């Protein structure tokens, strides 16, 4: 399909499903078990309605913000998505190039299909932010090496993912009996879900944050917070950010939507919302209004995963990603005008009605 015929993020998903090999589609799209969390993530946004303000003379909108101190043009970043090469030969490098042109930050997966040194070369400027996602390896020396290489390559932060001590049961993936071989080389596809996750240590606890702090001065973010209690603990460890995430519904099925966790933080630990620790949210975000709802409720920025893989697919590569970001940007801008706000900090919780989500 010609790119200009795709007019929203769901269109990219449809095209990707048609074009990707079955095995890749299964790996990218699947959630755990019955995929209840995966679908709920998206549904939680439609359960929230907006209360637009009128007659506020919004002449232009400013969508810029900062993530861990790095300027970004939208409150949106590219989340860690393993093996982008299966979508397009340029994989994570095409994502980095598009992110540079559009002014976005990118989180590079621990199991990315290109080494970080190569991805860094695709940046459009030396200050373009790329962060390193880390799964703590059973062989801790391997994790030390990931951190060292990230530092040397110029990564802006380490995001440690903590929601997958074992890999979720992705049944579509299992049924297709994926046979892409595991390999230590970053240049090759590293095998899928189970193979990829077999190195992740299930034996870590909160002390891991002290350990990482001991080996690097890079800012730390904890990805995969799913309760108010853990958000409070993370804050007490002095991390720079947390990601409310259920791994796109790929880890524990029926884990609640991250948007609901954000609501619970507002209610039970409101001191975290305006603290020094940034709060990010990911999972199921597909519309400009989804982004604005999360920001209005106190998120600093949101992550998208699958849409970046889908827009790389079908031979589109970087061009597809640029189009996808442009569409999301247009939706965000138009909906800010409709809401009556000219900058992100004017988005207030009163502008959303979350009672249907809270009741659930
Ligand atoms: C992921 N995600 C992920 N997260 C992470 O911390 N490390 C990783 O290696 C991966 N790999 C990965 C692969 C694929 C194919 C997907 C779809 C997702 C999770 C990702 O960062 C993010 O949390 C979710 O994808 C967000 O949900 P949406 O936007 O995909 O609905």
ipTM of the assembly? Answer: 0.99
Q: Which two tokens stand for residue 356?
A: 């249907």
DSSP classification of residue 136: P
Using the atom order of ligand 1, give the atom closest to the CA of residue 247.
23
Kindly list the catalytic residues. Answer: 135, 163, 247
pLDDT in tens, the chain (360 residues): 999 999 999 999 999 999 999 999 999 999 999 999 999 999 999 999 999 999 999 999 999 999 999 999 999 999 999 899 999 999 999 999 999 999 999 999 999 999 999 999 999 999 999 999 999 999 999 999 999 999 999 999 999 999 988 888 888 888 875 555 544 444 343 346 777 788 999 989 999 999 999 999 999 999 999 999 999 999 999 999 999 999 999 999 999 999 999 999 999 999 999 999 999 999 999 999 999 999 999 999 999 999 999 999 999 999 999 999 999 999 999 999 999 999 999 999 999 999 999 885
Q: Does residue 87 sit in helix, strand or coil? A: coil
pLDDT at 191: 42
Ligand 1: centre distance to CA 18 (Å) = 21
> Residue 282 Cα, ligand 1 centroid: separation in angstroms?
9
C-alpha of residue 28 to centroid of ligand 1, in Å: 9
Residue 181 main-chain phi, psi, to 5 deg: -75, 145
- Identify the residue whose C-alpha is closest to ligand 1 atom 19: 247
Q: Which residue has the tokens 């507002």?
A: 266
Nearest-CA residue for ligand 1 atom 18 is 81
For ligand 1, atom 13, name the residue with the nearest CA.
Answer: 81
- In 3D, which of 124, 118, 147 has the Cα closest to residue 134? 147
In angstroms, rounded to a whole number, what is the distance separating the alpha carbons of residues 341 and 346? 6
For residue 77, the SS3 value is strand
Report the run of H or E that residue 106 belongs to, with start and end: strand 105-108
Q: What 3-state DSSP class applies to 62?
A: strand
- What is the distance in A from the centroid of ligand 1 to the CA of 35? 14
User: DSSP of 325-345, one letter per residue?
Assistant: HHHHHHHHHHHHHHHT-SBGG
Residue nearest ligand 1's atom 12 by CA: 81
Taking CA atoms, 187 is separated from 103, 200, 316, in Å, by 26, 20, 21
Distance from residue 80's CA to the centre of ligand 1 (Å): 5
Q: Rounded to 5 degrees, what are φ and ψ at 134?
A: -130, 130
Helix (H, G, I), strand (E, B) or coil at 179: coil
**Number of the ligand 1 atom closest to the C-alpha atom of 246:** 23
Q: Of 57, 124, 133, nearest to 93 (Cα)?
A: 124
**pTM of this structure:** 0.95
Tell me phi and psi for residue 218, to 5 degrees: -65, 145
Ligand 1 atom nearest to 41, measured from its CA: 31
Which one-letter DSSP state was computed for residue 200? B
Q: Which atom of ligand 1 is nearest to the CA of 133?
A: 6
Between the CA of 337 and the centroid of ligand 1 the distance, in Å, is 31
Give the whole-angstrom CA distance, residue 307 versus residue 101.
17
For a substitution probing ligand 1, which of 77, 80, 303 has the most ligand atoms within 8 Å of its CB?
Answer: 80
Which residues does a 6 A CB cutoff place in the pocket of ligand 1?
A: 27-28, 41, 79-82, 109-111, 133, 161, 223, 245, 247-248, 250, 282-285, 303-306
- Count of C-beta atoms within a 10 Å radius of residue 198: 12
Nearest to 232 by CA among 224, 242, 223: 242
């Amino acid at each position: 399909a010609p790119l200009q015929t795709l007019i929203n993020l769901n269109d990219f998903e449809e095209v990707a499903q048609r074009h990707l090999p079955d095995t890749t589609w299964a790996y990218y799209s699947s959630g755990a078990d019955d995929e209840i969390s995966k679908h709920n993530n998206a549904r939680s946004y439609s359960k929230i309605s907006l209360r637009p303000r009128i007659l506020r003379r919004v002449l232009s909108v400013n969508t810029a913000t900062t993530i861990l101190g790095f300027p970004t043009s939208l409150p949106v970043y590219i989340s860690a998505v393993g093996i982008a090469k299966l979508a397009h030969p340029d994989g994570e490098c095409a994502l980095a190039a598009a992110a540079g042109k559009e002014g976005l930050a990118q989180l590079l997966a621990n199991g990315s299909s290109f080494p970080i040194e190569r991805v860094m070369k695709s940046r459009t400027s030396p200050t373009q932010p790329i962060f390193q996602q880390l799964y703590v390896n059973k062989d801790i020396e391997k994790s030390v090496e990931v951190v060292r290489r990230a530092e040397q390559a110029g990564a802006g932060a380490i995001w440690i993912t903590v929601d997958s001590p074992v890999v979720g049961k992705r049944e579509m993936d299992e049924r297709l009996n994926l046979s892409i071989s595991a390999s230590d080389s970053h240049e090759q596809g590293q095998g899928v879900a189970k193979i990829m996750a077999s190195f992740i240590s299930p034996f870590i606890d909160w002390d891991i944050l002290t350990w990482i702090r001991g080996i690097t001065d890079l800012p730390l973010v904890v990805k995969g917070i799913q309760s108010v209690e853990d958000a409070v603990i993370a804050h007490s460890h002095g991390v720079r950010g947390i990601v409310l995430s259920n791994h796109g519904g790929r880890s524990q099925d029926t884990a609640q939507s991250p948007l609901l966790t954000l609501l619970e933080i507002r209610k039970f630990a409101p001191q975290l919302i305006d603290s020094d620790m940034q709060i990010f949210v990911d999972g199921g975000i597909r519309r400009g209004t989804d982004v604005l709802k999360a920001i209005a409720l106190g998120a600093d920025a949101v992550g998208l995963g699958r849409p970046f893989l889908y827009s790389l697919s079908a031979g589109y590569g970087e061009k597809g990603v640029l189009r996808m970001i442009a569409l999301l940007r247009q939706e965000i801008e138009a909906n800010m005008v409709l809401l009556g706000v000219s900058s992100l900090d004017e988005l207030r919780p009163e502008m959303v009605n979350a009672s249907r989500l809270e009741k659930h």
